[in-house]
Structure 1
């Protein structure tokens, strides 16, 4: 009897420890924005030519500012000289305003006479209140009879900040409510969904505190996208691991009736697949450290920290609460025995797998392979500005107005760093490149007829592009411009479009490097977990096929349903890391149970029993993870909307087709050979091995 208080003491202490974590560290989920940056220039590859141009510009004091372009229009009417003078006076009045660097340019008319343009350079001190500052600028440049709009990098950055505003509240709230509703439907229980949600929130608080500590000391970088993905990863992974452990606890509780014994067995049987699953995802994310793009490298450790915290919560807080609550955690539902689903839908699926395994896996592989054929058609050269936001952002409308009346690249020219004595010749060469509308040397006073500004023996040439600076055509112009100037020593081409071009090229190289590394990591973990060579190869091949099929579907949906003309360069890589790692998760949950059942009942019975006993919980986990990633659409950015679709659709495809039909059918068809060179079925008695599968159609 003396042992009963001790048996309760350890779970109680664990729960108290996590309550302290939740109370003390929970607020850090709302503080991550304090250490986040949405400055995309900060994430450029350090070796890229455009990055070296940024470094060179520091000597010219241009990298310390961000341009804001003011464009005035008169609703299709020609602008009068008086209105032009009024716009120039409004710009000049901004000189000396805190946050405005130097003197703004005068307002100059478009060739059609229907628009004016002026450039205001903003200093970094306005970053914290950029939106409010731009509102004041907009009011200050108002001219009677004209409509003033704000475009350029500063306006885009303000819209990005608005898009991520409230990310710690809105995104988290939507994700948690979605998961709670799904759990209530799955478990038909009052307390259990709340316990799982609380465990996920505690894990998120711990992860955010660790990330905040590291970001505050510049050990990792965080932007709004990384922060949003961290929230979703932790909530989704913690819920998935909780579903696996809870299903085993419910099964053991029905068999033994002793909550402490059920808790011990559930934890012992779940710890290996959960740890293997978490290690797969975490190491897959850490492979992003090999990327040359800083935002990819940032997601690696941040995501791995989140996964580790999710697994820790699922293996400590959740079993402690389940042991303390016992059957009350499941109320009003009742514990369900291992074979309870044998006559349900998963019994019928298992019967189908048992009757026609080869026919089934062939019928599954062929359509997946057909969808995969569309994957190479995905345009991953970047999303143009007018598609970056999925809603009507002011900077997008302003840029459209600017492009209508001025050269599309106006306000965001290509920046060419040249030896001072070659500035005029380089400008002349640049003007002859297809896609360049004009090129001029940056002067000391800003007037075209003045002497070039020379710093450290270098000068700057600005080349205005004919095409929109965020489009594919502009990137092609940068490529031609660099080729034309390749014979000039000391010449480098940078600027906004060059940064996009370098980011795209670097992302392509990253994908070629990181994909095989992730596959190798997953293969090693699966070999160690399943103690087989054949089975890991089969599983990796199926999740890779699932990824390619998902990418093929995404290509069609993005183009013909969502209307996107392209995707961010990192979308295929992110989609691969998430889908392959998370897809292997569900196969780990399935095959670890199949191996356990195979050792007891033989190869044939093992795969069927494993499918029946894990079918419901893994499908529920897939639906939860798909729903949590789908919550990313509340952030109005195309990048996150595309990631949300790829992962949500891919997880459902993997859960409902690959893991439910393709993998079991392959394993059933191969029999004991699937486990080569090991033979887990040897542990089963001959009678058990010959025992027919207990499934019914």
Structure 2
């Protein structure tokens, strides 16, 4: 009853204008009184909670060794052929200037200006071509503060040297400078994501517009979903902005970028589910209002269920312990919820206002209307519509006549791709996802070439010696993966706490180095235990970026183990309630999960074998899973809803054939658009988004062209009436699908 009345409530003769006006007022008022989500970005929010070992160690380091605490910006100076005395003089003047004129957020600064030139030169690389100036920012400094500080350094350097060394080429024999280290990485990360926002929005809008024009060849129809997405974003942005202002949520530029893509992709899908049904009914119903009400009645359940499935799946991310994942939950789920509401209210109102004109110049008409119109327009619309149905009809025939063959072929293909996912290598190294010409990565390359890469991110190992003599330096110098160990230092407040800085002889951001953190901890605890100190695990702390990345890896693994089963369970419950079939719920879930692993396997071929990446970011599998399982079920829901409905009035074979034919066009269109929007991420310079975009786009295409049109209907055909268990079909025919096709 509710679905029958919805059309009149939102798209009636008068209510269509009221609906449009309400949306305009809501978006206008919210945008006027609340800040947009982009204004409330916080890109330096902590990803690890206070209970993680590296965070605890960081607090110990800050308390006991404050002169060395803070966020280091490593300014890497380089001149091929060797740095000159003038270069060192300029570096000393730069150090002296900022010792007297500190920038906002500035912390410790080594007194290089007070060192004799020979002493300073001894700290350069072996060939004398590179020198690192550590510039510390306070731990509370955000990326904007650090960026402002490095810009001040750049301006002063240009004044002192007469040219901008930060813009100089690294390989032309001139003095060059690059900002690397944690501060440089943070600045580059925020800059890359900030610059991506506008280009991503433009690219996504253009792609969706072009695809809609190519698929439907109607300018007005192509604009309608974009209008709906624009209104949804216009409502979601200030709501999220206000929530961030009140401190209820934290948003960052990465979340906003992906949220934009998700809105355009999923939002366009929901709009097309309604538009396609409206278009079909206009060919048999002369009254446009009745056609629209019927379309809304037929598609609103699937749209609402699809949207609710995605919202619930995304809300599960609130259970994540890793901050970047946890922060996705509310922005993503709220934006999809608003988009689903817009698809069920605003889009019908716009369609009611435009009527058949929405599809101009290929206006759908009833046979009688088409006969009257033939003299002016010919049969273009009818011929093309028939051709589109013909493709879906052929697939419907294949899956009902050869279901065993289809199931075997698709399972072999998807299974082979899924097996390839076990080859994937993962990393939590953010630096490797930057473009090679980003300053922080260029600076790291110089450090790795001229010094040892471990200097970029040493780890600080601290132990409570309880007053005993613990040979820390000797303990770690003997390890094969360590290049340098500093002299032990005593804590400021507790002299029993002794610390050494350990540098790896490998890339400290690599998984190889990160996985040595437990080894370092074991070595430190053993040294304490050998000295007779009890409970050494509680008296050992390791801080530094490699330690942080190790905790990140452990947290990601924990999140995946918790979130993935819960998402599967919740979606299974929703499908069970919607379909009232245990069997259908099981195979729909299993097909989408198989599609997910297949997407990972095929994605690894593109990312690793074709693009040459050594590893993918460790967060990608969890992100991709939530998106692909939730969005993949959208298409299954739309298809199965059609089959379930037709099963009430016809044999299952006919219901499957017609269901595949009826939904084929819209799901194909929606899948292409959704995959295209995620593929837009691959055009960005940030590898983590490139990899996520490729894998998710592949997964959507697999759902669109393999799972939905072939695998799901073939399984349904093979199961026959058991597909509805414990429910049953609305009518009983003499159908024995399992026996009928067992020898095919």
**TM-score, reference length from structure 2:** 0.85
Q: Which residue of 1 aligns with 2:624?
A: 575
Give yes or no for the alignment of 1:587 onto 2:633: no
The one of 294, 313, 325 aligned to 2:323 = 294
Rate the CA distance shift 1:689–1:600 in 2: closer, same or farther, 3 A: farther
Question: Does the residue aligned with 1:121 lie in a helix, a strand or coil?
Answer: strand
Q: Contact conserved, 2:433 with 2:687, CA < 8 A, in 1?
A: yes
The one of 82, 89, 95 aligned to 2:99 = 95
In structure 2, how many angstroms separate the alpha carbons of the residues matched to 1:674 and 1:505?
A: 40
Q: Which residue of 1 aligns with 2:478?
A: 432
Summarize deviations over 1:164-197 as a string: whole Å, max 9, x none.
Answer: 2244422111111111111112222221221211
Question: Does the residue aligned with 2:437 lie in a helix, a strand or coil?
Answer: coil
Give yes or no for the alignment of 1:115 onto 2:130: yes
Q: Contact conserved, 1:228 with 1:632, CA < 8 A, in 2?
A: no
Rate the CA distance shift 1:28–1:559 in 2: closer, same or farther, 3 A: farther
Rate the CA distance shift 1:389–1:379 in 2: closer, same or farther, 3 A: same
Kindly tell me the number of residue pairs found equivalent between the two proteins.
676
Question: Does the residue aligned with 2:425 lie in a helix, a strand or coil?
Answer: coil
In structure 2, how many angstroms separate the alpha carbons of the residues matched to 1:368 and 1:308?
A: 32
After alignment, is 329-338 or 536-545 more displaced?
329-338
Q: Which residue of 2 aligns with 1:280?
A: 309
Question: Does the residue aligned with 1:500 lie in a helix, a strand or coil?
Answer: helix
Rate the CA distance shift 1:139–1:321 in 2: closer, same or farther, 3 A: closer
Give yes or no for the alignment of 1:47 onto 2:51: yes
Give yes or no for the alignment of 1:419 onto 2:435: no
In structure 2, how many angstroms separate the alpha carbons of the residues matched to 1:305 and 1:56?
A: 39
Root-mean-square deviation (CA), in Å?
2.8
Rate the CA distance shift 1:305–1:422 in 2: closer, same or farther, 3 A: farther
In structure 2, how many angstroms separate the alpha carbons of the residues matched to 1:264 and 1:198?
A: 21
The one of 353, 367, 385 aligned to 1:324 = 353
In structure 2, how many angstroms separate the alpha carbons of the residues matched to 1:345 and 1:62?
A: 71
Summarize deviations over 1:141-174 as a string: whole Å, max 9, x none.
Answer: 4686632222111111221122122444221111
In structure 2, how many angstroms separate the alpha carbons of the residues matched to 1:495 and 1:671?
A: 59
Q: Which residues in structure 2 correspond to 1:144-155 (within 5 Å)? A: 146-155=175-184
Q: Which residue of 1 aligns with 2:144?
A: 128
After alignment, is 591-600 or 49-58 more displaced?
49-58
After alignment, is 116-125 or 84-93 more displaced?
84-93
Q: Which residue of 2 aligns with 1:694?
A: none
In structure 1, how many angstroms separate the alpha carbons of the residues matched to 2:350 and 2:521?
A: 63
Q: Which residue of 1 aligns with 2:433?
A: 388
Q: Which residue of 2 aligns with 1:57?
A: 61
The one of 439, 461, 480 aligned to 2:500 = 461
In structure 2, how many angstroms separate the alpha carbons of the residues matched to 1:423 and 1:82?
A: 45
Give yes or no for the alignment of 1:69 onto 2:74: yes
In structure 1, how many angstroms separate the alpha carbons of the residues matched to 2:232 and 2:202?
A: 15
The one of 12, 15, 23 aligned to 1:10 = 15
The one of 328, 351, 371 aligned to 2:397 = 351
After alignment, is 366-375 or 112-121 more displaced?
112-121
Rate the CA distance shift 1:243–1:220 in 2: closer, same or farther, 3 A: same
Q: Contact conserved, 1:341 with 1:612, CA < 8 A, in 2?
A: no
Q: Contact conserved, 1:601 with 1:688, CA < 8 A, in 2?
A: no
Q: Contact conserved, 1:423 with 1:460, CA < 8 A, in 2?
A: no
Deviation, structure 1 residue 85: 4.8
Summarize deviations over 1:357-396 as a string: whole Å, max 9, x none.
Answer: 11111111111101111111111232462x3113521110
Q: Contact conserved, 1:159 with 1:394, CA < 8 A, in 2?
A: yes
Q: Which residues in structure 2 correspond to 1:467-616 (within 5 Å)? A: 467-487=506-526, 488=528, 489=536, 490-616=539-665
Deviation, structure 1 residue 26: 5.6
In structure 2, how many angstroms separate the alpha carbons of the residues matched to 1:159 and 1:23?
A: 35
Summarize deviations over 1:281-317 as a string: whole Å, max 9, x none.
Answer: 1111112222211111111222111110110110110
Rate the CA distance shift 1:82–1:477 in 2: closer, same or farther, 3 A: farther
Q: Contact conserved, 2:143 with 2:186, CA < 8 A, in 1?
A: no
Rate the CA distance shift 1:349–1:27 in 2: closer, same or farther, 3 A: farther
The one of 679, 686, 692 aligned to 2:728 = 679
Give yes or no for the alignment of 1:636 onto 2:685: yes
In structure 1, how many angstroms separate the alpha carbons of the residues matched to 2:704 and 2:61?
A: 51
Q: Which residue of 2 aligns with 1:447?
A: none
Rate the CA distance shift 1:606–1:23 in 2: closer, same or farther, 3 A: same
Summarize deviations over 1:646-670 as a string: whole Å, max 9, x none.
Answer: 1111101110111111111111222
Question: Does the residue aligned with 2:99 lie in a helix, a strand or coil?
Answer: coil
In structure 2, how many angstroms separate the alpha carbons of the residues matched to 1:91 and 1:586?
A: 61
Question: Does the residue aligned with 2:144 lie in a helix, a strand or coil?
Answer: helix
Q: Which residue of 2 aligns with 1:695?
A: none
In structure 2, how many angstroms separate the alpha carbons of the residues matched to 1:665 and 1:260?
A: 36
Rate the CA distance shift 1:581–1:423 in 2: closer, same or farther, 3 A: farther
Deviation, structure 1 residue 634: 4.0
Q: Which residue of 1 aligns with 2:110?
A: 104
Rate the CA distance shift 1:534–1:238 in 2: closer, same or farther, 3 A: same
Q: Which residue of 2 aligns with 1:448?
A: none
In structure 2, how many angstroms separate the alpha carbons of the residues matched to 1:590 and 1:74?
A: 64
Gaps of 5+ in 2: 1-7, 113-119, 162-173, 367-381, 529-535, 738-744
Rate the CA distance shift 1:234–1:25 in 2: closer, same or farther, 3 A: farther
Give yes or no for the alignment of 1:309 onto 2:354: no
Deviation, structure 1 residue 90: 2.7
After alignment, is 433-442 or 406-415 more displaced?
433-442
In structure 1, how many angstroms separate the alpha carbons of the residues matched to 2:354 and 2:736?
A: 38
Question: Does the residue aligned with 1:438 lie in a helix, a strand or coil?
Answer: strand
Gaps of 5+ in 1: 444-450, 691-697
Q: Contact conserved, 2:302 with 2:638, CA < 8 A, in 1?
A: yes
Q: Contact conserved, 2:11 with 2:19, CA < 8 A, in 1?
A: no
Summarize deviations over 1:237-281 as a string: whole Å, max 9, x none.
Answer: 111100001111122232222222222222222221111111211
Summarize deviations over 1:375-422 as a string: whole Å, max 9, x none.
Answer: 11111232462x311352111011100111112111421122333746
Summarize deviations over 1:419-452 as a string: whole Å, max 9, x none.
Answer: 3746963344233333222233676xxxxxxx65
Q: Contact conserved, 1:416 with 1:461, CA < 8 A, in 2?
A: yes
In structure 1, how many angstroms separate the alpha carbons of the residues matched to 2:31 and 2:205?
A: 15
Q: Which residue of 1 aligns with 2:453?
A: 408
Rate the CA distance shift 1:434–1:215 in 2: closer, same or farther, 3 A: farther
Give yes or no for the alignment of 1:228 onto 2:274: no
Q: Contact conserved, 2:10 with 2:349, CA < 8 A, in 1?
A: no
Deviation, structure 1 residue 573: 0.8
Summarize deviations over 1:589-612 as a string: whole Å, max 9, x none.
Answer: 100111001111121111111100
Question: Does the residue aligned with 1:332 lie in a helix, a strand or coil?
Answer: coil
In structure 1, how many angstroms separate the alpha carbons of the residues matched to 2:478 and 2:152?
A: 41
In structure 2, how many angstroms separate the alpha carbons of the residues matched to 1:408 and 1:638?
A: 21
